[in-house]
Every structure is written in structure tokens, then in C-alpha cells.
Structure 1
């Protein structure tokens, strides 16, 4: 009877369950890195990745089980694995085209980041994950011998598959993506599925060809073209690029358009939003210690080293590879700077030091991490400020009526006695400044460069009052990602978008 058929190779079936489970999670974790340059890493994007993965698995489980009921031969399953692996190895090469099409829908205003990332996830990852979802019920069917041990067999198969999924979660994030990159990570698992399929079909010789193809791809496919790129590295957190044009270096993250740091060997200032943080020590003449959360390549720290050599700066940066790039390419290291590789909020919770100036310039383009925008966070910052201390946060905005900016202003006003907004000239950035003391902006810097910056700043400063009708961001509710998406889409609908992204810093 078909129901009593005993499989010829139980070990191969166990390996199949393991590798399919591992590949599912590896594809899911890699998806976030492919989507990030186009749609960011917001809660919306992760919702789509996880949601589409679960829907695909549900479909795969259902139809895989139905198909398996009528089969006693493993070859159809291994053909599916061969096809799935072949599809997977094509993902890195077709991803730019698919993502550009999906992003085009956003640019035209016909869909938001939510729908664009959903489309990209469906097109690239739903097919292979659906197919892999069908493997476990098929393996269970082939592993049962009709002796009534169905529960034991099913439990064993799901246990093995889940162990594979655990490895597929940690291996890409902790080892493969930082060392070989996202593209090669997907290729590794795609080729693993191809090799498994060929072995299951009795074509071991062709599996060696597949491994050779993977090795060749590593040799010729690792470089990413980019004009002026002098350094690139994929870390646990970011894809990092240092670009040089006309002797000026720029830090780019995740192949986005915005620059996160600028270094001009011939000038201390960089004609960007970072220059305007130089007014903070002028507002607090007794300042001795400053903290920068979101150090990046150290543009502000370098300017402080030149203009305020007696000001000690602690710089907090989540990505250790960005710190290395800052020291190597952006002249970041200096006697005034001490760096800390950790999350900004975690640093505040663990440090006993108090500061005169705290700067928040942390971005996962184009989003500010929500936990660095809340009332609870700014209360923690306040507890680390000396009397008369100042906090300032860089905000990407499309105007003074930007919902993100209004929420941040109101949140700061709920914690501090005095709040001011500096609309940085010639950019789409504002710096929100807060303190428990009243600040006076009629300062007279001795250095001409600082006076030039100060004079431009004075005409663009507004006093902010707390608005009971406006939202206050909290750890429980901080929809900064949603309103950032809405802000960008509203701007795109109403403006000529040329140069739009370059204005965010």
C-alpha cells in the first residue's frame, strides 16, 4: 500500500527538512537588507517582510500537504527544491530592477512605503518561501510508515526544521552578511538548495557544478559599482560606502542618497547642517563636556576639535564599522573625542557622566529611531545634563508644519522649559534646541567663520511653546516612521523632486 511505504533514505529527508527551514529564515533576514536602500528599515518594512513570509508559509504548508497526500516518490519534492534554489540565486541580480519598479510606485505617489516594500517582498521572496513551506509536510508524508507514529514523525520533522530556522536566523546576521555581504549570502543558500535538489534526484555530479558556479560568482560578483567609491563594507547594521568627489569625502549608508558625514581636508566646515551645531557652545559658554548620539563619521566632533579644543566630546555610534571608517577616512580621531560603540539610549542608562551639551543625530535614513524621540528618552537626557545644559536634535523636515517636527517640538516642550527650532538654511533639516534655561542667540563669536554661521542662524530661529492639542511621543506610542513616510510622499506630490533626497543630511 502507498500509505505503508518506507522511505529509502531517512537521513536525506532529515537534511532536507533542516536545510529548507534554514533557507526560509536566511531569505527572510536577507530580505531586510535588500529592501533597506529603497524603503528603509521601518516598522512598515519589517511588517511586510514578516507578514508576507507567514502568508507564504501558510500557503506552502497547505498545498504542500495536499500534494504530498498523493505522492510516494521524493523526486517531485527535490525538483521543487532545485527550482527554488535556482530562483533564489537570481534574486540578487533582479532585486535592483524589482525594487526600482516598486519604488517607482512610491515616487509617483500611487503607493506608500508600505505598499512599495510589500510589492518588492511579494515578487522576490514569496515564491521561494511558499515552495519551501511545502517541504515539511512532504517530508512528513515520506517519513511515515503506517505504524501510527504520525505524531512522532511530524514532531521530529518540525523540530529539525525549526533548528534549521534558528541557524538560518543567526548565521546570516552574525557571520555571513558582515563577511561576504547580502548578495553572496542569498547565493550560498540558493546553491545549497540546488545541491540538495540535485542529490535528491541522483545527480551528484551536477551538484559539484553548482558549487563551482557559486565559487565563480564570489570571484566576479562581489564588487558593487559606484562612482567615486573608495571604501565599502557590509556590517551587521549597514552597507557602508565612502565616496570621494573633488577631494571631498562623503559617508553613505545602505546605498541611500543622503550623506551622513562629510570631510573636506581643505575646510573645517562643510556647508551642511553639522556646521550649525557650532552655535551650541556659544549658548553655553561654560560647556566642558559634550555628547553626540549618532557620531557617524565624526563631522561635528571634528569641527568642535578645531573651534572648541577644550571641549571634551563623547561620541556614541551603534555601528563599529562606521567608527573605523570615521577614523580612517574622515579624520575623526582626536584628543578631544572618546568613542563608544553602543546604542545611544543604552549609553545614557549606563553612564554616570553629566554633560553640558547633548546632540542627537542618529538616523536610519530617513527615519530617526523612534526610541530616540520619546518623552521618556528626553527625560533621560535631561537627567544627564548639568545645570544650564542644552540638548539638540537634527530632524529631516519638509517645512515648519511637518508633523514629525511638530511632534518632536511638542515632546521636547513637555520636558524642557525652553524649546527653539533652527530651520537650517538651504537644507530640508531643522535643529530643535531645548534647555531648562532661557537661551539668548545674540552671541558674538570671535572667529569669522563662526560669526558667519551664527548670523545665518539668528534669522531662522523660532521659540516653541507646548501645545496640548499636539501629540507627545512616548515609548508606548511614537509613530515617527508613519509620519515620516507621509511627509516624504506629500512633498513628492507637491514639488519637483530633483535634488530632494540630497537635501536631507
Structure 2
């Protein structure tokens, strides 16, 4: 392992493997703490901290004679393999206690990230200075080139690992399978390093340790998967709810319930589904037919309810993840029929297709927040341009009752585009719940009614003076493509 090209290849492989773990980390945490800005910030910070500490320790080990340094390198890689294979057990063993002990979600994300992914990154960071020192020593006449080649190998490996994780490994192997593969790569490189340092004896020791590591990785593969389906975008879980008098199933994307459905399409089991179904029908009442563009599919409860009621609507749905649509068909009784399903980002669809609609309905969420690019003034202007005369835009908003700053900001932003912006909600909201669902209704004219009552529940329109007081009582942010801090507004739980 003293040849420069071998050292370069090994360094590239280690860097690639370590970045694969970083990408997988976010996916593995998602079912427990969501896939938010805070999740990725914590993962990146923890991984970089692990690399940094590993590089420091590796630098001290690199001062040893080459054979001793290679031996330490081999054991570090085997430790990286063990820590990576054990991440599955560490996450599932600590997630519940950490989340229960830390009510602040950001603190829980940081602690959980550190407990599970610091050690894999630490041990993966040890080899870089050792291999670089050996590379420089192996090419005394070309020290600068050797050092540059090692740095380049690390960068290229990181790039290839990132691409491979996102486009190949997670899609084909899933998160746990990907971690098992990385553990096997680390173990193989560790054995090679020990063999180079100590010959047959070193290889035998490494092989014995690698067998233990691979057994651990295999154990991780046999653990129950929290995901019913792991798609390119989400951990999709289908949960049967037997607590009520009727059959119901919940669709959980990562850690958030995105819909509840029953075999009866007319029976809407959530307040937001009832409002998103009833409010457009109320606004379009009297029209012989109308068109609707839905941002997000979920359980597809709204189009199911419309079709069951004989509503004369032509439905187009932009659902980014085709696995969500397939899950709705397989487990949530959805039959597309004449509905047009587009597996694409809704903003891209609306920007690229000049078609106009009578209703555009926003019900897309990443973690607990609407994706930033779907709440901005620029997006609302695009929606306005894609509405027919008399058309209406509806949007699902979740906010904390002790803040309501997100709701105030969304209203203030929508008012930049539409003359009429209403807020509807469920009057039967449980005051013990700290979060509440609101429906924004924006158009050229206000709704003709202030209350809707049907078999699925009630909805009331918050009086215009109360909405105005809400906006004036906060310091609302006008969301733009340049600045839309919805994660911070939802994460800020202070008084105000």
C-alpha cells in the first residue's frame, strides 16, 4: 500500500464512503425527527466535527513509522466499519429516550445526530493524514504533487460518494443496506491496510475483526424496517388505526402524518381534508364543471371525496414522489380514473405549462413546514397567473398557537398578490393541542359564506378584523425567493 496510486485510490474510497454515510444519516433520522433544515444542519455539523477530530488523531498516528501507522490505519478503518454497522442499532436504541428527554426538537436533533453519527465520521477521518504522510514519504522528489493528489482524491471521492448515495445506493439498497455496504468497504480496506503493515498475521487479525463487523451489519439488515416503503424522497409508513369505530389508515411521510383515510371516500377524517374538499366546492358552486390543480397528493383524500360526491371537477395533481401515489393506490383506496398525475415539482409544472385552473390547492409539506419555494410572493404571483377569472387559491398552513407568526406572514405575503385573503379553521380545535391547522383562501372576491357544516365536520371563516389584528400584532415577514425563514419561525418557540 506504499504506491502512490494505491494510496490515492484508498483515500478516494474512504472519502466516498464517509460522504455516503453523511447523506444516509439525514434519511435515517427522518422517521424520528423529520427532514428539515435543522436535521441537515445538525448532520453536517456532527460529521464535520467527527472528521476534524479524526484528522487530529490521525495526524498524531501519522508520526509513527510507516508500518505502525498503517497498522493504526487498519484498525481505525475496522472501527469505522463497526461504528457504521452499529449506527442502525444506536439510532433505534436512543431515538425514543432522547426525544422523550429533550422536548426542544432542535436539541433532540443535535443530540441524536451526535450519538449516532459522530463515531463513524471520527474513525473515517483518521486515515487521511496517515495516508497523506505515507504518500509524501513514498515520493520524496515529488512531495507537493503527492500531497496534492491525496487532497484531490479526498475531494473527488466525496463528490462521487455524494452522487452515488443520492442516485444509486439509497434508491436500490435502502438506508440500512447502504450502511452495510459502506461497513463492508471499510472492513475490506482495513484488512488490506493491516496486511500491508504486518503481512499474513495482520491480515488474519483484520479478517477476524471484519467478520464480527459484517455480522453486526447483517444483524442491522434483519432489524424491522420503520418504513413500509423507502422511496427516493421519503420514509413512507402505512399505519392501521384501530382505535375508532371504523377502519382507518394513516400515511406517515418521515415523521409527520400526511393523511388519514377510510374506505368510505365521503368520510374525511381530518379537519384540513374536510376544508380542502368543501371550500373549493363552495367557491365553485353553480359551475357546470371546473378544474383543480393540487399541489401534493398524500392519501388523495380530496379528489376521492370530490369524485364520490359527483363533483364536476377535472383534477390534476403534482405529486413529487411517485411512491406516494403508488402507496395511495395500494393502501388508501385511491383510483386515479381520469385524474392527471404529474410526478414533478408543482412550481416547475406551473412555470412550464401555461394551462389555467379554477382552483389551485396547496397541501405540500416538508417536515412540518410548507417548502420554502411554495410560500413566496413570486410563487403566489405565478399561481395568480395560472388561475382563471374568478379562480381561487387555497393553502394548508400549520402554526403554533402561541406564535402564529407563520400564519401572519403567509397572509401578509398573499395580500401582496390577491385583494381578498381569508383564513378558515376548525372551530372544534382541541385547546390542549399547541399546533393548529388553518386554510388560507385567496382570490379576487371574498367567500359568500362564513361557515361550512357537513358530515365530516365544521369550518369557520375567521372574521376579517381578527385576521387584520393578527397581522398587525406580529412582525410578519414577506416571504420572497430570497428570504423565506419558515423553519426559523416554526422553530422559534419563545414568547411573543
Normalised to the residue count of structure 1, the TM-score between the two structures is 0.84
Name whichever of 199-208 and 353-362 sits farther off.
Answer: 199-208
Q: Distance in 1 between matches of 2:210 and 2:121?
A: 25
Structure 1: gaps of 5 or more residues? 1-6, 226-230, 445-449, 492-505
TM alignment of 1:265-280, pairs within 5 A: 265-272=263-270, 273-277=272-276, 278-280=278-280
Q: For residue 232 of structure 1, what is the aligned residue in structure 2?
A: 228
In structure 2, relative to structure 1, the CA distance for the partners of 1:424 and 1:345 (3 Å cut) is same
Report 1:334-345 matches (<5 A): 334-345=336-347
Q: Please list every run of 5 or more consecutive structure 2 residues that lacks an aligned counterpart in the other structure.
A: 196-202, 430-435
Report the equivalent of 1:494: none
Distance 1:290 1:486, change over 3 A: same
Q: Residue 125 of structure 1 corresponds to which residue in structure 2?
A: 117
1:153 correspondence with 2:146? yes
1:435 Cα deviation after fit = 0.6
The equivalent of 2:437 in structure 1 is 429
* SS of aligned partner of 1:260: strand
Out of 156, 181, 184, the position equivalent to 2:177 is 184
Deviation at 1:181, TM superposition (A): 1.8
Match of 2:491 in 1: 485
CA offsets 1:202-233 (integer angstroms, 9 cap, x no match): 32654874686378447633x326xxxxx811
* In 2, Cα distance between equivalents of 1:106 and 1:214: 29
Determine which of 353, 357, 375 is the counterpart of 2:355.
Answer: 353
5 Å-filtered alignment, 1:3-82, equals: 8=2, 10=4, 12-73=6-67, 74-82=70-78
Stretch moving more, 381-390 or 43-52: 43-52
Q: Secondary structure at the match of 1:420?
A: strand
Partner of 2:94: 98
| SS at structure 2 position matched to 1:201 | helix
On the 8 A contact 2:269/2:456 being kept in 1, the answer is: no
Quick one: distance in 2 between partners of 1:289 and 1:13?
61
In the TM superposition, 1:318-337 aligns within 5 A as 318-337=320-339
CA shift in 2, pair 1:61/1:211, >3 Å: closer
Q: SS at the partner of 2:133?
A: helix
Pairwise CA distance, 1:146: 5.5
Q: Partner of 1:4 in structure 2?
A: none
Whether 2:246 is the aligned partner of 1:252: answer: no
Summarize deviations over 1:177-199 as a string: whole Å, max 9, x none.
Answer: 22332122112212221222123
- Report matched runs for 1:369-380 at 5 Å: 369-380=371-382
Aligned residues: 465
Distance 1:105 1:214 in 2: 28
* C-alpha contact (below 8 Å) 2:10/2:189 kept by paired residues: yes
Cα drift, residue 451 of structure 1: 4.1
CA-CA distance at 1:310 after TM superposition: 1.8
Q: Secondary structure at the match of 1:296?
A: coil
1:419 CA drift (Å): 1.0
Alignment of 1:262 onto 2:260: yes
Is 1:44–1:113's contact at 8 Å kept on the other side of the alignment? no
Structure 1 residue 426, shift from structure 2 partner: 3.9
Tell me the distance in 1 between the aligned counterparts of 2:251 and 2:139.
62
Kindly state the Cα deviation for residue 453 of structure 1 after the two structures are TM-superposed.
5.6
Check whether the contact 1:198–1:206 (CA below 8 A) recurs between aligned residues.
no
* CA-CA distance at 1:70 after TM superposition: 3.1
Inter-partner Cα distance in structure 1 for 2:49 and 2:294:
42
* Counterpart residue number, 1:396: 398
Deviations 1:407-465 (A, max 9, x none): 11211122210111111244521111111123211699xxxxx64568x224x433244
- Residue 154 to residue 304, structure 1, CA distance change in 2 (3 Å): same
Structure 2 vs 1, CA of residues 146 and 357 (structure 1 numbering), >3 Å: closer, same or farther? closer
Q: Which moved more, 1:166-175 or 1:355-364?
A: 166-175
Shift of 1:326: 1.4
Q: How far apart are 1:160 and its partner, in Å?
A: 2.4
Alpha-carbon offset, residue 201 of structure 1: 1.7
2:446 is paired with a residue whose SS is coil
What's the TM-score once normalised by structure 2's chain length?
Answer: 0.86
Q: Distance between the aligned counterparts of 1:358 and 1:327, measured in 2?
A: 23
